[in-house]
Amino acid sequence: MTGLKTNEREGTRAVLRHARVSAYKVREVLDLVRGKPVHEAEDILRFSERDAAFTVGKVLHSAVANAQNNDELEPEELYVSACFADEGTTIKRWRPRARGRATRIRKRTSHITVIVSRLPDEELQRLQQHRRAEQLAQRARRVAGARRAEGDTRNRADRRRGVPIEEAESADEHAGHDHEGHDHEGHDEAVEVEGTSAEVAVEPESDESHAVSEEPDAAGSEVGKAPEAAPADEREGEQ
CATH of the domain at 21: 3.90.470.10
The string over 38-63, giving b where at least 16 C-beta atoms fall within 10 Å of a residue's C-beta and e elsewhere, is beebbebbeebeeebbebbbbbbbbb
Domain boundary pick from 91, 119, 147? 119
Contacts of 51 (CB under 8 A, 6+ apart): 21, 25
- The answer on 26 and 99 residing in a single domain is yes
pLDDT score for 236? 54
DSSP states of 46-80 as a string? HT--STHHHHHHHHHHHHHHHHHHTS---GGGEEE
- The answer on 81 and 16 residing in a single domain is yes
- The answer on 101 and 26 residing in a single domain is yes
- The answer on 17 and 115 residing in a single domain is yes
Does 126 reside within a domain?
yes
Range of the domain at 28: 10-119
Contact between 116 and 80 under an 8 Å Cβ cutoff? The reply is yes
Does 224 reside within a domain?
no
pLDDT score for 7? 66
Longest dimension (CA), the chain: 175
82-87-89-92 Cα dihedral, nearest 10 degrees:
140
- The answer on 112 and 81 residing in a single domain is yes
Cα–Cα distance, 99 to 82 (Å, whole number): 50
Q: Going residue by residue through the chain (239 aa), what tens digit of pLDDT does each one get? A: 456 666 677 889 999 999 999 999 999 999 999 999 999 999 999 999 999 999 999 999 999 999 999 988 999 889 999 999 999 999 999 999 999 999 999 999 999 999 999 988 888 888 888 888 988 998 898 888 888 888 878 777 767 676 555 565 566 566 555 554 555 544 444 444 444 444 444 455 555 544 444 454 544 444 445 555 555 555 555 54
- The answer on 159 and 130 residing in a single domain is yes
pLDDT score for 52? 95
Q: Which pTM does this prediction carry?
A: 0.56
Cα–Cα distance, 61 to 40 (Å, whole number): 13
Specify the number of domains making up the chain. Answer: 2
Does 84 reside within a domain?
yes
Q: Considering only CA atoms, give the Rg of the chain.
A: 51
DSSP states of 67-119 as a string? HHHTS---GGGEEEEEEEEEE-PPEEEEEE-GGG-EEEEEE--EEEEEEEEEP
Domain boundary pick from 139, 158, 181? 181
- The answer on 171 and 87 residing in a single domain is no
pLDDT score for 5? 67
Does 60 reside within a domain?
yes
